[in-house]
Structure 1
Amino acid sequence: IWSYAEIGMQEYETHDLLVKVLSQEGFRIDPIEGFPTAVLATYGSGKPVIAVHTEFDAVPSGSQTAGVADHRQPVVEGAPGHAEGHNTNAAVMVGAAIAVKRALDEYNIKGVIKLFGTPAEEQILARPYFVRDGYFKGVDAAFHPHVGGQLSTSWGIRQYANMSVQYTFHGRTAHGANPWHARNALDGAKIMSIGWDVQRQYIQPSARSHSVITDGGVQPNVIPEIATIWFYFRDVDRDGVLAMYNRAKNVSQGAALITGTTLTENVLSAGWPTRDNITMAEIVQSNIEMVGMPKWNPEEADLALRVQKIGDVPEVGLETKLSPLKKAVQGSSTNDSGDICWTVPHGRISFPANVPGIRFHHWTAAIATATSIAHKGTLAGSKVLAASMIDLFTNPELLEKAKKTFAEEIAGTEYQPLLPPDQRPPANLNKDTMDKYRHLMKRFFIHKEIKFV
């Protein structure tokens, strides 16, 4: 998967690999409407239904040769790369699922494993659709493995809510020497950006927002007929994000009025803040303590220090000690799994398949994600996930406790999707970018036969 390095909604090689591996192990594969690269794999019968969901997309412009930590050396110049490590997420999910499937068979244990391979996490995209459209109905509990620099878990609200919105201004083109015949769509996008910057002093201090102009014209002497500015809005909760979105709607309409353009709005996705259940965290923590941290060798320790040095982060090396279970501190990052966390008891596993402290989305975060650091960290994560799933399959009282504490944790909060009910996913998102690089990347793709023993 590291070699494919496919960005959101274009993960076709990754999808095909996961489908092949899981089908060979007897999992039923079903489509998810609107997401051609999503993987929904099911095995087993009866109750409980335990879900695992995780992402496998790469980061634009994140290409870097594995293990090269003293200079920039992309596999393909400008191409995407796994500059976070979502390739290891998929490996943890699949490895654990196959181990648990074999245990269910060998010991005649009732229950269903339900896997969700999730496209486009970097665009905060897919899982709100999965929840809204009913794919998590009947699920009793869910786990989310995610790459990090340590083997750990936590409970409580962990990340921000988010909305991803595109504002497209439609004008009229003309020659740049005769602009009075035109209505400049790019001016609409720029004035929206300026207007939103003015609004920043009035939004809550907790709020975060950022934007890019994704379509702004072709050349200076052709007045742009169409322009799109893409915003992310983040805040601590659903209401905060909605307040930002409603304020931005007014700004966008004002920008269209000022420039004489028309406006269309596209909410690509919108999700709740992530949170984790205390009982699920206790289950995960007990298995973390059973599995323990990987044993790093001197070469791995040296690579980590070199990655940290070139990444300009504290040179602390690899983590060797386990962290105690603790309540999460909500950070301003987001993940599209939040809606799941408010509908079923949820546990997250952070596993040490990357270098501690490294900045995700920077090319240095791709250096270690196809090395023995990633292999050892992924194996540890798979063991913790598999053991935690087995605990729920074999201990009904534990699952009931998770459901009880989950109900107590969310008491007073009514879950309603942030995502508009008629919104459809953007299946062609990132297609042009991936088409630009895929033919150059193909000669580096790895297509080895995968066997589980």
Structure 2
Amino acid sequence: MIKILKKYLIFFLATFLLVSIFVISVNAQGGISPEKDTAYQAVERNASEIGKVGDAIFNFAELGMQEFESNDLCARLLEEWGYKVEKGISGFPTALMATYGSGKPVIALHFEFDALPGTSQQAGMIERKPVVEGAPGHAEGHNTNAAVVIGAAFGIKEAIDKYNLKGTIKVFTAPAEEQGIPRPYFVRDGYFKDVDAAFHAHVGNNLSTSYGERQYAVITSDFLFYGRTAHAAVAPWTGISAVDAAKLMDIGWDVLREHLPTTQRSHSVISEGGIQPNVVPDFARISWIFRESNYEKVYDLHEKAKEVAEGAALMTGCTWEENVISAIWPTRDNQTIAEVVQANIESVGVPKWTEEEQKFAKEIQKSLGAKETGLSTEITPLAEAKQSTSANDSGDITWMVPHGRITFPANVSGIPGHHWAAAIVPATSIAHKAEVAGAKVLAGAVVDLLTQPAILEKAKETFKKEVGETKHQTLLPLDQKPPIEYNVDMMAKYRESMQPYYLKETIQFK
């Protein structure tokens, strides 16, 4: 009798296993795991809400350090889904860290959502037509970055809940990316100490990823000169012009450029240079951005700048001090993580564009004198990145843990960066489709790391080989506080007139 029961039990278990495998195979839609399929479906059924997130932040169009509405929206959604939200991290009023799940691995997602000054533009209008004349606009499409990561965060959460996945998700909002400010502070203050891998999503004109060093290291700094006021006509010899010192620093640096490596980039603006010409100015501020291909070189470049500042002060009789705003490492991405992202890109595929969307994209390109290629329809093959002189403040993170970046096609090729025309597309159906694709790719890649520990172990091994003997150390002064006063006046000037254009629809994921 016992033998017969054992046979029936074995038969029952075998049948159950075969049925389970069949069900999983069907649900997995051609090889996609059930966990990932759950994340994909969560993103797809909330496609309209993801689009609304991007559109809402597009209409907020908040400058760096002033992203209060944008941050509050993200906080509200994440809290509704059960994420534990900590606002004001590292002293940034418009930054947060949201945490979901428990245990290892710890996966971080981070994104920026700041706008650019003077680039206000009505979505979908090819001719110049600001929403509010002179106001900020999303001329780099950072609103879409937020939509992708927020959408992915929901999809990942759904997979964790349904399959009781082990692991912790940390979502970071990063204000003032255009000033290259926040993420070095997060790293310095320990927010990434327990993180095992991290992901960043950024708007582009194709669905792609890469590996290797991608962008430059940067130090952003204000040099402050102090002199003495005097009547510029009656007794100018009793005054000490701080503006003269700022100008001499600028001139001195221009002379030095001839003898600097051609890899460096440096640019400045006298951001405060006196009040009226008949008063010898006792204060001047010259703001600098120094760029180089690695952290050692940018450190040396910055040291030379301090010597030039000292020389300018000596020549004019001024005193001076420096305020380092931010200091970031070059961005780099891990090859193993890139391979995971690429596999998800190939699984998700490029959005299916309509004829109208392709026509619209070509009309934008034609209006700008760009090549009329339309929207990307092919998946970009995985390749090693070519280092650009641009920068992103996520660089420090990428030298701490294996990191991956997803580029998604929420804009059109041929549009000049930081130009009002770059704000035409990021709140249209093109952007909405790209946001969904990006969110699925990101969610899928994270689910892969949560469900396949071997991938993360391989990523950690390749990361060690990639960085070699280089050890991350912060370039940011340990006592440096974030410049929370940035853009206060400009945002205050326009916010009230922008408010009538805020998205009125409720955003509710399901």
* SS of residue paired to 2:154: helix
Deviations 1:247-278 (A, max 9, x none): 11011111111111111100000010000000
Q: Which residue of 1 aligns with 2:198?
A: 142
- Alignment partner, residue 286 of structure 1: 343
| Code of the aligned partner of 2:433 | K
Correspondence for 2:475 among 394, 415, 418? 418
SS at match of 1:228: strand
Q: Could you tell me which of 257, 261, 264 is aligned with 1:200?
A: 257
- Which of 264, 271, 280 is residue 214 of structure 1 equivalent to? 271
Matching of residue 431 in structure 1 with residue 493 in structure 2: no
1:54, 1:89 within 8 Å by CA — same for their partners in 2?
yes
SS in 2 for 1:264: strand
> Which amino acid in 1 is paired with 2:371?
P
Q: How do 1:136-285 residues align onto structure 2 when only pairs under 5 Å count?
A: 136-178=192-234, 179-285=236-342
Partner Cα distance (2:501, 2:273) in 1 = 33
Q: 1:220 to 1:314 in 2, by over 3 A?
A: farther
Contact 2:90–2:185 (8 Å) recurs in 1:
no
Residue 92 of structure 2, aligned match among 17, 35, 49: 35
Question: Which range moves more in the overlay, 337-346 or 176-185?
Answer: 176-185
In the alignment, the residues of structure 1 paired with residue 505 and residue 281 of structure 2 have an alpha-carbon distance, to the nearest angstrom, of 47
CA distance in 1, matches of 2:232, 2:156: 64
Correspondence 1:331 to 2:388: yes
- In the TM superposition, what whole-angstrom CA distance separates every residue of 1:304-363 from its partner, at most 9, and x where no partner exists? 122223334332211111110000000100000000000000000000011123222111
Whether the aligned pair in 2 keeps the contact of 1:149 and 1:357 (CA below 8 Å) is no
Q: Name the residue aligned to 1:61.
A: 118
2:12 is the alignment partner of 1:12: no
Any conservation in 2 of the 1:48–1:140 contact (CA below 8 Å)? yes
* SS of match in other structure, 1:206: coil
Letter in 1 for 2:356: E
Residue 154 of structure 2 corresponds to residue 98 of structure 1: yes
Q: Matched residues in 2 for 1:132 and 1:21: separation?
A: 27
1:82 alignment counterpart? 138
Question: Helix, strand or coil for the counterpart of 1:180?
Answer: helix
Q: 2:368 aligns to what?
A: 311
Are 1:161 and 1:236, in contact at CA under 8 Å, matched by a contact in 2? yes
- State the TM-score, normalizing by the size of structure 2: 0.87
1:293 Cα offset (Å): 0.4
CA displacement at 1:224 relative to structure 2 = 1.9
Partners of 1:103 and 1:87 lie apart in 2 by 25
Aligned to 1:113: 169
Q: Secondary structure at 2:258's aligned position in 1? A: helix
Please tell me the residue identity of whatever aligns with 1:358.
Answer: I
How far 1:447 moved relative to its partner?
Answer: 4.2
Structure 2: distance between partners of 1:171 and 1:392: 57
Counterpart CA distance in 1 for 2:275 and 2:358 is 48
Q: CA offsets per residue over residues 128-159 of structure 1, 9 Å max, x none?
A: 01001100011110000000000000000000
2:377 aligned to which of 300, 320, 324: 320
Q: Percentage identity across aligned positions?
A: 58
Name structure 2 gaps, 5 residues minimum.
1-56
- Other-structure match for 1:355: 412
Aligned 8 A contact 1:18 1:39 in 2: no
Letter matched to residue 260 of structure 1: G
Number of aligned pairs?
Answer: 452
Alpha-carbon distance in structure 2 between the residues aligned to 1:49 and 1:225:
51
Instruction: Measure the CA separation in 2 of the matches of 1:423 and 1:82.
Output: 29
Deviation at 1:404, TM superposition (A): 0.7
**Relative to total residues, which structure has the larger helix share, 1 or 2?**
2
Shift in Å at residue 364 of structure 1? 0.7
Q: Secondary structure at the match of 2:284?
A: strand
Q: CA deviation at 1:175?
A: 2.6
